[in-house]
Structure 1
Amino acid sequence: MTTLEITLRGAQVLTAEGLTACDLSLSNGRIADAPSGRAVDLDGYMILPGIVDIHGDGFERHLAPRRGAMKDLAQGMIATEAELAANGITTAVLAQFYSWEGGMRGPEFADQVFAALTAVREHVETDLHAQLRFEMSLLDDYPAVEDMVARHGIGYVVFNDHLPHKALAAGKKPQGLTGQALRIGRNPEKHLEYIQDLHARLPEVGPALDRLSTGLAARGVRLGSHDDATAEGRRQARARGMTIAEFPETLEAAEEARAGGDAVIMGAPNLVRGGSHKGNVSAVDLVAMGLVDALASDYHYPSIRRAAFLLADGGVCDLATAWGLISSGPARLLGLSDRGTLRPGQRADLVILAADTRRVVATMAEGRISYMAGAVARRFIG
């Protein structure tokens, strides 16, 4: 689809000063500093920067709605992109697991997901990026991870450790292990032996992780940690070049991240539902304390837009600041200096909302329509 040469008039446009009635012109896929093309009347609508979703795994429902049901993952990826666009997301980081949990979180599925992403990336409007979420306890898989990152050009790797160490250290069978094993077609006893072996090798993880993170950083890969629970854990992550803290579980971990100059990402669903479903630190509280650099969709794409408005409506911060947490903030963390605001010269990434309902009615990525529905279409088409 070609880019639109167009001037949008009559809408409330979000600038650094807030919503302002002004024209917004688009030319050659960029925000223009002078009128361009034909005019479209958007009275009754709001125009905001396109959303940059820095971490989302809501695509899983499209790629694997049932075990073994989806053979062509590229078609599921196209459905994912349609959902992203319908939620005002113009840049999306798809976070794929590489875990001992297996199944759609195992290495084979991860390889298929990244291949599907490569296959569709040039055929959709939304700018799609890959993130690899790697379970650091998988010591034997470190060479395979380096290879996967290189083959698929993955620019963002996040490390986490979700092994149930407490139960394993006590010699107990972790809760839910049997169901987890059966879901991935693995004998529960063998699965327990497998994760017990991983737990036993925990002392080896630190040195191996030092080498892996150093190698990835040398390639220019952006590194982060996931679910930091303590200040010491965050300091260790920072020492390994993991300068992004995704979803810290405690206030002390978030404060340590800020004190050390690291970026903090929190999940929008945490904020929308009024707290973490696991009892972790509240995203609203961290935003109010100025400790959050970006909000991410996590597992629910619609929440990211709702979170920004909840912050503004609740007086936690103004709309420009709240929206910055889902546009300019994540763009900065990803090194994407060409998007996140509606300033002249930036990519023409924007979302159009009905002013009365705040419903997404149109999304444009680099000046191309990725989503449009309802009465606003008549404004564009005539």
Structure 2
Amino acid sequence: MTMLELTLTGADVLRPDGLEHGGELSFAAGQIQTDRAGRQIDLSGYRILPGIIDLHGDGFERHLAPRRGAMKQMTEGVIAAEAELAANGITTGVLAQFYSWEGGLRGPEFAAQVFEGIKAARPAVVTDLIPQLRFEIHLLEAYDNLPAQIAEWQVPYVVFNDHLPHERLAQGKKPPRLTGQALKAGRNPEVHWQMLKDMHARRPEVPAALDRLAAALGAAGVCLGSHDDHTEEDRVIWRNRGALISEFPETMEAAEAAKSAGDHVILGSPNVVRGGSHKGNASAVELIAMGLCDALASDYHYPSPRRAALMLEKTGLMDLSAAWALLSEGPARILGLDDRGRLESGKRADILVLDKQTHRVAATISGGQVSYMSGEIAGRFLA
């Protein structure tokens, strides 16, 4: 793939110290340069922003399994998903895939296909794709082999989930939508119901197994996080296991516990765009206003990170630098990606070009290579 050498002029450039009006940005050999490089492209009427680092997104599923059942050509699905990421200004995308007892698109078999597909696709795409494994902690039979599988799939980021309906199970009641869930997994509903009860009965075995698994993954350098923390106690338990990332905490209590201990908090950008959680959890806007957020992620909707940051700016809650840092510098810090997240010399040339009037993504450049370009701006580059 060809690395561009260009100097972008006339745009408003978001520097680490603020927005530079009518500035310019040069890049060559995949990195941002201090001196001018290559030919000049006039980007008057546009903003130049750091590329978005999306720390958690599962919107790619529609490309991998557009209809019931997995696609046979998984790599093609990953390539199609990468095109959507690029069209939304995402230059580094964490693809969050379940490894769960829930089966179907969340089952271990499908996860194996997804991770192999990501491995195969990465050399062929421009966007930096990072696989994340979302592990359902009551899948006890998976614990022994999981570290080796994670290493084979080159997964650097694991998040722990618990979607068992414990309250209903403790009461001996079938959870809502059990039949639909069972059929999606290809199971008889009664077999599925018995499986839930069996997993719930083995609940006391889970903490010790988790301790061993988290220790093994941590020793291998895997980033660890928890999902949907509800209480301060939840966060303490996960922190003690080395899971220092709190994804989408459900309450202010959990978010405060994470931040006070120096853990990282990731919130969902759709929560910001919608004006609240679709599940009735804590408002992301309120948590951001209280300083309880390190990064925003797409969750299930790739256009939302950009829209959320611009909404935060428009409402006056944050200036553009602070709002955009939740999409770039903050995520880079969480994953230890020191080579990106800011438009400064020596960093990766991860660049989002935004139309100042429409706020639509006009071009995306990842590592000095074009991953997306549309309409009028393409004429400027090709002139």
TM class by shorter chain equals: over 0.9
Aligned: 1:192 with 2:217: no
How far off is 1:71 after superposition?
1.3
Which whole-Å deviations, capped at 9, do the CAs of 1:274-301 have from their partners, x for residues lacking one? 0000000010011100010000000000
How far off is 1:260 after superposition?
1.1
3-state SS of paired residue (1:173):
coil
TM-score, reference length from structure 1: 0.99
The aligned counterpart of 2:19 is: 19
3-state SS of paired residue (2:327):
coil
3-state SS of paired residue (1:284):
helix
The aligned counterpart of 2:88 is: 87
The aligned counterpart of 1:348 is: 349
The aligned counterpart of 2:7 is: 7
Which whole-Å deviations, capped at 9, do the CAs of 1:126-148 have from their partners, x for residues lacking one? 00001000011111111232121
Partners of 1:154 and 1:86 lie apart in 2 by 24
3-state SS of paired residue (1:134):
strand
Partners of 2:281 and 2:330 lie apart in 1 by 23
3-state SS of paired residue (1:10):
strand
Gaps (5+ residues) in structure 1? none
3-state SS of paired residue (2:112):
helix
How far off is 1:68 after superposition?
2.5
The aligned counterpart of 2:265 is: 264
Alignment of 1:41-60 (within 5 A): 41-60=42-61
- Structure 1 stretch 61-70 or stretch 194-203: which is displaced more? 61-70
Q: Given residue 18 of structure 2, which amino acid in structure 1 is its aligned partner?
A: G
Partners of 1:285 and 1:220 lie apart in 2 by 33
Q: Given residue 62 of structure 1, which amino acid in structure 2 is its aligned partner?
A: H
3-state SS of paired residue (1:336):
coil
- Structure 1 stretch 145-154 or stretch 172-181: which is displaced more? 145-154
The aligned counterpart of 1:145 is: 146
3-state SS of paired residue (2:145):
helix
How far off is 1:350 after superposition?
0.4
Which whole-Å deviations, capped at 9, do the CAs of 1:303-344 have from their partners, x for residues lacking one? 010000011111111100000000010011111001001001
3-state SS of paired residue (2:98):
strand
3-state SS of paired residue (1:341):
coil
Report the RMSD for the aligned CA atoms in angstroms.
0.8
The aligned counterpart of 1:237 is: 238
Q: Given residue 324 of structure 1, which amino acid in structure 2 is its aligned partner?
A: A
Partners of 1:296 and 1:181 lie apart in 2 by 29
Partners of 1:19 and 1:84 lie apart in 2 by 25
Partners of 2:345 and 2:70 lie apart in 1 by 46
The aligned counterpart of 2:253 is: 252
Which whole-Å deviations, capped at 9, do the CAs of 1:221-271 have from their partners, x for residues lacking one? 100000001100110000000000000000000000011110000000011
Contact 2:103 2:184 in 1 (8 A): no
Which whole-Å deviations, capped at 9, do the CAs of 1:121-167 have from their partners, x for residues lacking one? 01100000010000111111112321211111111000011100000
Partners of 1:17 and 1:33 lie apart in 2 by 16
Partners of 1:92 and 1:333 lie apart in 2 by 14
The aligned counterpart of 1:171 is: 172
The aligned counterpart of 2:205 is: 204
- Structure 1 stretch 13-22 or stretch 182-191: which is displaced more? 13-22
Contact 2:16 2:344 in 1 (8 A): no
Partners of 1:245 and 1:68 lie apart in 2 by 31
How far off is 1:66 after superposition?
1.2
Contact 2:25 2:32 in 1 (8 A): yes
Partners of 2:366 and 2:49 lie apart in 1 by 12
The aligned counterpart of 1:288 is: 289
3-state SS of paired residue (1:163):
coil
Q: Given residue 14 of structure 2, which amino acid in structure 1 is its aligned partner?
A: L
Which whole-Å deviations, capped at 9, do the CAs of 1:84-142 have from their partners, x for residues lacking one? 00000000000000111100100000000000000010110000001000011111111
- State the identity as a percent: 62
Gaps (5+ residues) in structure 2? none
- Structure 1 stretch 138-147 or stretch 124-133: which is displaced more? 138-147
Q: Given residue 348 of structure 1, which amino acid in structure 2 is its aligned partner?
A: A
How far off is 1:65 after superposition?
1.2
3-state SS of paired residue (2:243):
coil
The aligned counterpart of 1:160 is: 161
How far off is 1:69 after superposition?
5.8
The aligned counterpart of 1:228 is: 229
How far off is 1:185 after superposition?
1.3
